């Protein structure tokens, strides 16, 4: 097949590095799901797939070998070379990669985008050697993850990369899940690796049930309450905590200030000088830092730090929820995640405007992967959890009902209302009276439980 006029072109070889998947969800262009990811498993629907992304570190020697692998694929597509060394199946992966690229290109053209897409990563199927010696996955896959030795190998290119013990243990657990995830290894143009696990687990709602309720708040972060419904008359609030991002908008404001100063705005320059003097900088140091290029550099590094902090917060929340979900699944319980979503408009100008929207997207993906029901409800922690009337504020985020005379914490009440909405919907409308669950019974037993 002649590939000299392939649309991949030199940009695929010299273009910028493709976007790496972040956290839990791989970023695919529409219509460009890599081979092995998103295919139906045993007639399971593609729309319900969830993903996990692992990023094993690669040493310098192996990165160079992976670059050679990537460029060999591109050169084969361009007709520079007529065959690929190693596994004959690499020819198939090359054609799959070209198909992905062309599909993304067509999608961008239909969307009115004129620039060529970034060079996509190369997808490879991977097989696993389990600790007992059994093999899981396609036995003809060119990539091997040996969980006995704790290493990743691509024999045809001499790649042998040690894997950290923690990652090995995690991959063993993932391979033992039922249904088992599908795995695809991605090789980027710059020699980095991404291992993507895709899985669909059906979500059922039955008792016993663990309800993970999360209230998003533009000023106070995330309030997380866990309600374990063991049977219609037995409800336990097993956990409550508030998670506040370490970055409360300070870095965002600081970066904007330094960017304005770099643009030469006098007011911003004066504020930067004051900030640097408060930090103990000498006049000579301040003069050096006020150069436009230096100010722009500080603004960029501050924004990068902000992204790292936001990413760390999202990872912390997702990790906690995943632990709670799997703990319940191991007991044979069903699981649901209910969130009171904050909209983007109300986040504008708040301290957490760049922080709270990402975790919700990740939690939706987690629910698909782990087999948990995912629901969004609009609730208000100002309403009395007993009668539903709007309470009177008697302290910081503390309310009292003028009719019932009970007091509650606004954030705790929001998680209560989320649990009530879910239980009313699924155990009043979908079930018979014998399984009706009324969470207000818990409140009567614990009248001060929401303080």
* Tens digit of each residue's pLDDT (9 = 90 or more) over 124-149: 889 999 999 999 988 888 899 999 99
Looking at the domain assignment, is residue 144 inside a domain?
yes
SS (H, E, C) 278-293: HCCCCHHHHHHHCCHH
Looking at the domain assignment, is residue 204 inside a domain?
no
DSSP 47-106: GG-EEEEE-----HHHHHHHHHHHHHHHHHHHTS-S--SS-TTHHHHHHHHHHHHHHHHH
At residue 299 the predicted structure's pLDDT band, cuts being 50, 70 and 90, is confident
Q: Is the peptide bond before 208 cis (omega within 30 degrees of 0)?
A: yes
Backbone dihedral angles phi then psi of residue 195, each to the nearest 5 degrees:
-105, 120
Backbone dihedral angles phi then psi of residue 168, each to the nearest 5 degrees:
-60, -45
Same domain, 362 and 384: yes
Same domain, 180 and 78: yes
Domain range for 168 is 11-199
Looking at the domain assignment, is residue 6 inside a domain?
no
Question: Is 51 in contact with 25 (CB distance < 8 Å)?
Answer: yes
Q: Which of 189-198, 398-407, 423-432 comes out lowest in average pLDDT?
A: 423-432
Same domain, 239 and 283: no
pTM (predicted TM-score): 0.81
Same domain, 140 and 78: yes
Same domain, 388 and 257: no
How many structural domains are present in the chain? 3
User: 369-401: per-residue pLDDT in tens?
Assistant: 999 999 999 999 999 999 989 999 999 889 999
């Amino acid at each position: 097949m002649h590939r000299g006029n392939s649309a991949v072109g030199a940009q695929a070889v010299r273009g910028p590095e493709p976007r790496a998947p972040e956290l839990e969800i791989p970023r695919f262009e529409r219509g460009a799901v890599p081979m092995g990811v998103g295919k139906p498993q045993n007639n399971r629907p593609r729309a319900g797939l969830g993903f996990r992304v692992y990023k094993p570190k690669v040493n310098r020697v192996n990165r160079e070998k992976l670059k050679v692998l990537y460029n060999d694929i591109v050169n084969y597509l361009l007709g520079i070379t007529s065959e690929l060394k190693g596994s004959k199946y690499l020819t198939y992966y090359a054609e799959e990669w070209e198909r992905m690229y062309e599909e993304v290109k067509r999608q961008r053209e239909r969307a009115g985008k004129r620039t060529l897409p970034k060079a996509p990563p190369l997808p490879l199927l991977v097989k696993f050697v389990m600790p007992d010696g059994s093999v899981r996955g396609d036995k003809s896959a060119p990539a091997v993850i040996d969980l006995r030795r704790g290493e990743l190998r691509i024999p045809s290119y001499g790649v042998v990369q040690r894997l950290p013990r923690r990652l090995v243990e995690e991959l063993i657990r993932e391979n033992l899940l039922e249904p088992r995830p599908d795995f695809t290894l991605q090789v980027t143009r710059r020699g980095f690796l991404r291992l993507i696990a895709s899985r669909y687990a059906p979500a059922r709602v039955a008792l016993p049930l663990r309800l993970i309720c999360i209230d998003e708040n533009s000023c106070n972060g995330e309030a997380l309450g866990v309600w374990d419904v063991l049977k219609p008359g037995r409800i336990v609030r097993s956990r409550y905590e508030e998670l506040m991002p370490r970055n409360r908008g300070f870095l965002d404001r600081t970066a904007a200030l330094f960017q304005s100063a770099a643009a030469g705005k006098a007011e911003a320059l004066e504020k930067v000088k004051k900030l640097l003097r408060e930090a103990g900088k000498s006049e000579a140091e301040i003069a050096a830092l006020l150069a436009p290029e230096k100010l722009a550099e500080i603004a960029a590094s501050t924004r990068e730090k902000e992204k790292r902090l936001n990413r760390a917060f999202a990872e912390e929340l997702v990790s906690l929820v995943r632990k709670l979900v799997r703990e319940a699944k191991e007991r044979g319980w069903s699981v649901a995640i209910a969130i009171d979503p904050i909209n983007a408009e109300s986040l504008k100008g708040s301290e957490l405007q760049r922080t709270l929207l990402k975790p919700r997207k990740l939690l939706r993906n987690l629910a698909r992967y782990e087999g948990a029901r995912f629901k969004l409800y609009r609730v208000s922690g100002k309403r009395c959890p007993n009668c539903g009337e709007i309470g009177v504020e008697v302290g910081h985020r503390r309310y009292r009902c003028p009719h019932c005379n009970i007091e509650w914490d606004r954030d705790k009440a929001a998680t209560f209302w989320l649990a009530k909405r879910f239980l009313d919907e699924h155990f009043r409308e979908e079930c018979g009276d014998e399984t009706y669950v009324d969470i207000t019974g818990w409140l009567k037993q614990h009248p001060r439980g929401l303080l």
